[in-house]
């Protein structure tokens, strides 16, 4: 058990309480919006079934060549800045073009190429409500500065999680896991708050860490531009370089297929633009396996037909950023894992709600409530189970292992892992509900 001096416990408790009050208001907004966004695809497909009926096909290197050619033919005076696989529609390729030769992505023209029809795609705008909700969840409607603010809130959220887990042991001496006092509503909800905190700790820690990484995505990309990309640019500087054209792009992709035959293109930055040096294409590629499809590598390919190319690994912080998105949204295990994410989100949502309730009760309504109380009678636990951190650790480790299993597994094994995660979460939910409502089925 974690042991700290009483004075340190009191200081940590005060910090947990006051920082928690600040975090609580933001957490409620983020949890509610996140719970709805979990099922964005299912909801939109319900109202737009024709989109769900479209079968996805794997994009080929020739598709990217055709997309680039279409863009040049449509706007010959513009500069192609990038081509990229669309995140939401596997048949589309997104194209950015600098108007009248501009090199920066800000203010660029946006096009989409349909790989099925071989023509410019007329994109179907996604629900305005969900776009607004995603912006609310991502930056609280404050733009790029809002992302930094959300990252700051996320760090404070992580502090409340860790501090709550530490002081939990001091409150739960000689008490069994999930045991709750019933002599007052404040005591009952305080114990519910403690139970929810440790029951969801491992999952909430994962969501908090990945959320901070996602909120800092623009900052991490700027760091990459100022460090690794700057080094790449300096190492590739040549006195004479060939300008990028259709034939140079096609030859670059031919080199890519030689360097890594199984590579799938994620993003291509064209030479002499904001994200690539003159004379070289920078291409983010991903593998075709269950794990390496989530981790991109960087291919550096010369515009010269006779020039070479190489593949480099991205720095660790960008790899962590790429892994954060699926781990944060739980969209890699299909609907079963999304249901697990929903249940855990709702359980975690109760943390700020119960915390605010207990604080308000103590501050304004029950100042004279003393910590002396009687525990309601419960079934005796084995001695090992009475250790404050034993069952929370077992539950957290089990859930973490199944989430990792689902992340790497495919097909039937993926479904089995999602089912096991669901059973663990349901077990935590039932245990908490039985302790909260008691044998008579009603909270007091």
Question: Does residue 242 lie in a domain region?
Answer: yes
What is the distance between the alpha carbons of residues 38 and 29, in angstroms, rounded to a whole number? Answer: 14
Identify whether 13 is part of a domain.
yes
The three-class DSSP label of residue 270 is: coil
Residue 48 in any domain: the answer is no
Going by pLDDT thresholds of 50, 70 and 90, the confidence category of residue 148 is very high
Same domain, 152 and 10: yes
DSSP string of 378-417, one letter each residue: -PPPPGGGGSTTHHHHHHHHHHHHHHHHHHH--HHHHHHH
Based on the fold, state whether residues 232 and 335 are members of the same structural domain: no
Residues 84 and 190 in one domain: no
> 192 near 347, Cβ under 8 Å?
no
pLDDT band for position 129 (50/70/90)?
confident
Residue 218: band (very low, low, confident or very high) from pLDDT cuts 50, 70, 90: very high
Q: Are residues 309 and 286 located together in one domain of the fold? A: yes
Section 104-118 average pLDDT: 90
pLDDT at position 261 is 78
**Residues contacting 232, CB < 8 A, separation 6+:** 277, 282, 300
Confidence of residue 125 (pLDDT cuts 50, 70, 90): low
For residue 150, is it within any domain? Answer: yes
pLDDT at 80: 94
Among 326, 348, 371, the domain boundary falls at 326
Kindly state whether residues 175 and 257 are assigned to the same domain: no
Q: Which tens digits make up the pLDDT trace of 25-56? A: 999 999 999 999 999 888 877 776 555 445 55
Q: What percent of the chain has pLDDT over 70?
A: 85
Give how many domains the chain has, as a whole number.
2
pLDDT band at 372 (very low <50, low <70, confident <90, very high): very low
Which pLDDT does position 48 carry in this prediction?
A: 61
371 pLDDT band, cuts 50/70/90, is: very low
pLDDT at 375 over 50: no
For residue 216, pLDDT beyond 90:
yes
Asked if residue 56 is part of any domain, the answer here is: no
**pLDDT, averaged across the chain:** 84
Average pLDDT over every residue of 315-340 = 91
Percent of the chain with pLDDT over 90: 46
* 408 and 290 Cβ atoms separated by less than 8 Å: yes
pLDDT at 81: 94
Q: Are residues 225 and 107 in the same domain?
A: yes
Predicted confidence at residue 344, as pLDDT, reads 96
The pLDDT confidence band at residue 65, using thresholds 50, 70 and 90, is: very high
Model pLDDT, residue 427: 92
Of 68-77, 249-258, 377-386, minimum mean pLDDT range: 377-386
pLDDT for 396 beyond 60 = yes
Q: What is the mean pLDDT of residues 134-156?
A: 95
Instruction: Select the more confidently predicted residue: 30 or 387.
Output: 30
Position 382 confidence tier, pLDDT thresholds 50, 70, 90 = low
Q: How confident is the model over 366-381, as a mean pLDDT? A: 46
Contact 349, 35 (CB under 8 A): yes
- Alpha carbon dihedral 135, 139, 141, 145, in 10-degree steps, equals -140
Q: Indicate the SS3 state at residue 317.
A: helix
Residues 262, 381: one domain? no
390 burial (CB, 10 Å; 0-12 / 13-18 / 19+) is middle
User: What pLDDT score was predicted for residue 179?
Assistant: 81
Q: What is the 3-state secondary structure (H, E, C) of 266-307?
A: EEEECCCECCECCCEEEEEEECCCCCHHHCEEEEEEECCCCC
Measured CA to CA, the distance from residue 402 to residue 418 in angstroms comes to 7
Of 7-21, 273-287, 301-315, least confident by mean pLDDT is 301-315
For residue 245, what pLDDT is reported? 65
Helix (H, G, I), strand (E, B) or coil at 114: strand
Among 298, 326, 354, residue at a domain's last position: 326
Report d(CA 31, CA 347) in Å as an integer. Answer: 10
162 and 21 in one domain?
Answer: yes
Please tell me what DSSP assigns to residue 78. Answer: S
Q: Are residues 39 and 141 in the same domain?
A: yes
Mean pLDDT of 406-410: 87
Q: Specify if 1 maps to a domain.
A: no
With a cut of 60, say whether residue 127 has pLDDT above it. no
Residue-number span of the structural domain to which 339 is assigned: 6-43+133-202+329-437
Q: Which residue has the higher pLDDT, 335 or 155?
A: 155
For residue 280, give the H/E element and its range.
strand 280-286
SS3 state of residue 92: strand
In a domain, 442, yes or no: no
Contact call for residues 264 and 59 (beta carbons, < 8 A): yes
Q: Domain boundary residue among 326, 356, 388?
A: 326
In the predicted structure, residue 383 carries a pLDDT above the cut 80: no
Which pLDDT belongs to residue 441? 40
419 half-sphere exposure, CB direction, 13 A CA radius: 6
User: What is the model's pLDDT at position 362?
Assistant: 83
At residue 440, the pLDDT reads 42
What 3-state class would DSSP assign to 24?
Answer: helix
Of 27-36, 163-172, 182-191, 327-336, the range with the highest mean pLDDT is 27-36
Asked if residue 31 belongs to a domain, the reply is yes
Whether 238 and 188 map to the same domain: the answer is: no
Using the CB atoms, write b or e for 296-321: b if 16+ within 10 Å.
bbbbbbbbbeebebeeeebeeebeeb
Residues 419 and 393 both lie in one domain: yes
Tell whether 228 and 271 lie within a shared domain. yes
pLDDT score for 376:
45
Of 55-64, 122-131, 320-329, the least confident: 122-131
With a cut of 60, say whether residue 340 has pLDDT above it. yes
Name the residue with tokens 């989530």: 294
């Amino acid at each position: 058990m974690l042991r700290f001096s009483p004075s340190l416990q009191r200081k940590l408790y005060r910090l947990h309480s006051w920082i928690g009050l600040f975090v609580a208001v933001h957490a409620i907004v983020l949890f509610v919006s996140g719970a709805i966004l979990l099922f964005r695809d299912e909801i939109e497909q319900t109202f737009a079934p024709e989109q769900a009926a479209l079968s996805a096909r794997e994009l080929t290197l020739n598709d990217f060549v055709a997309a680039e050619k279409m863009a040049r033919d449509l706007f010959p005076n513009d500069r192609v800045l990038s081509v990229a696989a669309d995140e939401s529609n596997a048949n589309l390729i997104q194209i950015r073009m600098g108007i009248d030769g501009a090199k920066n992505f800000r203010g660029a023209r946006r096009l989409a190429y349909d790989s099925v029809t071989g023509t410019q795609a007329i994109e179907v705008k996604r629900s305005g409500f969900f776009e607004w909700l995603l912006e609310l969840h991502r930056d609280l409607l404050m733009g790029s500065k809002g992302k930094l603010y959300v990252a700051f809130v996320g760090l404070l959220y992580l502090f409340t999680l860790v501090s709550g887990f530490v002081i939990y042991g001091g409150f739960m001496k000689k008490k069994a896991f999930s045991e709750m006092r019933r002599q007052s509503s404040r005591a009952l909800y305080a114990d519910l708050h403690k139970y929810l905190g440790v029951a969801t700790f491992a999952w909430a820690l994962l969501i908090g860490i990945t959320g901070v990484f996602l909120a800092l995505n623009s900052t991490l990309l700027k760091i990459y531009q100022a460090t690794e990309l700057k080094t790449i640019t300096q190492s590739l500087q040549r006195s004479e370089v060939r300008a990028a054209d259709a034939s140079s792009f096609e030859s670059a992709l031919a080199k890519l297929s030689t360097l890594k035959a199984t590579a799938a293109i994620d993003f291509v930055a064209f030479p002499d633009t904001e994200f690539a040096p003159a004379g070289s294409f920078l291409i983010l590629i991903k593998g075709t396996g269950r794990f390496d499809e989530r981790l991109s590598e960087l291919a550096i390919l010369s515009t010269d037909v006779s020039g070479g190319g190489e593949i480099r690994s991205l720095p660790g912080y960008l790899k962590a950023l790429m892994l954060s998105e699926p781990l944060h949204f739980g969209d890699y295990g299909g609907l079963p894992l999304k249901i697990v994410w929903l249940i855990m989100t709702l359980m975690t949502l109760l943390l700020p709600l119960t915390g605010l309730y207990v604080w308000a009760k103590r501050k304004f309504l029950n100042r004279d409530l003393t910590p002396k109380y009687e525990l309601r009678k419960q079934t005796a636990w084995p001695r090992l189970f009475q250790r404050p951190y034993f069952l929370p650790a077992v539950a957290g480790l089990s859930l973490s292992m199944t989430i990792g299993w689902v992340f790497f597994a495919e097909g039937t094994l993926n479904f089995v892992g999602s089912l096991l995660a669901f059973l663990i979460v349901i077990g935590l939910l039932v245990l908490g509900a039985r302790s909260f409502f008691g044998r008579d089925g009603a909270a007091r």
